[in-house]
Structure 1
Amino acid sequence: MRKSALPPCVDVHTRVLVLGSLPGERSLAAQEYYAHPSNAFWWLIGEVLGESGLPQQPYEERLPRLLEHGLGLWDVIESASRKGSLDTAIRDAEHRDLTLFARSLPNLRVIAFNGKSAAERGRRQLGGSNPAGELPWALLDLPSSSAAHASLSRVDKLSIWKRLQAYLA
């Protein structure tokens, strides 16, 4: 079954853009980023932003809070065929023009990838690793917030996710 991503959550003040791969079944059904209760995204980002109560807020209040901190969300895949929610099941992906999109964000400082699949696909779209600073923003790989990525604890993931704070200051 073909799945399509959610619209971007960004504005002209976005300094940090967190890109996932493609929303899972629960997120698509709810039309909410990171809707599955076992996904640690809202806890991680709440801790990064110093807003530990963020996960308990209604979804429609969370997105404006992200934007107030200069943080945006989107996905590297526009649409794809996928049975279930695992990134490994993604087939026939239609990718976005991330470079064009990122260039439309005048204050963007870093593009952070939520998980290995998002990083691999997103870096390919953006031209690789940016070794010589060829892009006007940094690229940062983060461990997936998904519970399916269980090789790191939430606390270990948070220590890496806190690298975003330098770009939000």
Structure 2
Amino acid sequence: MEYHNIKPVYDKNSKILILGSFPSVKSREAQFFYGHPQNRFWKVISSITDTKLPGTIEDKRKMLINNNIAVWDVVASCDIEGSSDSSIKNVVVNDLSEILKETNIKTIFLNGGTAYNLFKKYNKDLNMNIIKLPSTSPANARYSIEMLINDWNIIKDKL
């Protein structure tokens, strides 16, 4: 069993929430979201918010907060082989109620199909605008960075 060891990033001004599935091995080691150097999340968010690509964890956190973006993951703990979303079993989900109570989030974006499917399975009672986006993971090799930025640009309308 692996446990989520990264606190959510948000503040009272957060307008959207981006949820991944579960942190990769590299992210768990780094103790922050999207820690694998090949993950395109930070490049995509930097592009759609017109901000400089952040280098440090603190820069990443500031970029999110300054753009009213909250980030967390659907899964709190699970059995997983390495970083493979397809191997996720025995899921315990994160409780989103605190984030949703303390913010003005109206839209939740899911980073990839696994995050979306797990979210829909375990959050049936949540009445919110839910949008699935293509995964920024390097495993989603058929999506170029340009394609990701194009699809993720929908976030701009909600900020």
Instruction: Tell me which residue corresponds to 2:137.
Output: 146
Instruction: Tell me which residue corresponds to 1:113.
Output: 110
Gaps of 5+ in 1: 129-133
Q: Do 2:11 and 2:103's aligned partners in 1 also have CA atoms closer than 8 Å?
A: no
Instruction: Tell me which residue corresponds to 2:72.
Output: 74
Give 2:107's aligned amino acid.
V
Q: Do 1:20 and 1:115's aligned partners in 2 also have CA atoms closer than 8 Å?
A: yes
> Post-superposition shift, 1:63?
0.4
Sequence identity (%):
29
1:95-128 C-alpha deviation (Å, 9 max, x unpaired): 1233x24531431121000010000111223328
Secondary structure at the residue paired with 2:131?
A: strand
> Post-superposition shift, 1:86?
1.0
How is 1:6-21 mapped onto 2 (pairs within 5 angstroms)? 6-21=6-21
RMSD: 1.6
Instruction: Tell me which residue corresponds to 1:54.
Output: 53
Alpha-carbon distance between aligned partners in 2 of 1:70 and 1:35, rounded to the nearest angstrom = 21
> Post-superposition shift, 1:154?
1.2
Among 92, 101, 107, the residue aligned to 1:104: 101
TM-score (normalizing by structure 2): 0.92
Alpha-carbon distance between aligned partners in 2 of 1:139 and 1:66, rounded to the nearest angstrom = 19
Segments of 4+ moved more than 4 angstroms: none
Give 2:39's aligned amino acid.
N
Number of residue equivalences: 159
Alpha-carbon distance between aligned partners in 2 of 1:148 and 1:18, rounded to the nearest angstrom = 19
Alpha-carbon distance between aligned partners in 2 of 1:83 and 1:60, rounded to the nearest angstrom = 29
Alpha-carbon distance between aligned partners in 1 of 2:71 and 2:152, rounded to the nearest angstrom = 15
Q: Quick check: 1:83 aligned with 2:74?
A: no
TM-score (normalizing by structure 1): 0.87
Alpha-carbon distance between aligned partners in 2 of 1:12 and 1:20, rounded to the nearest angstrom = 21
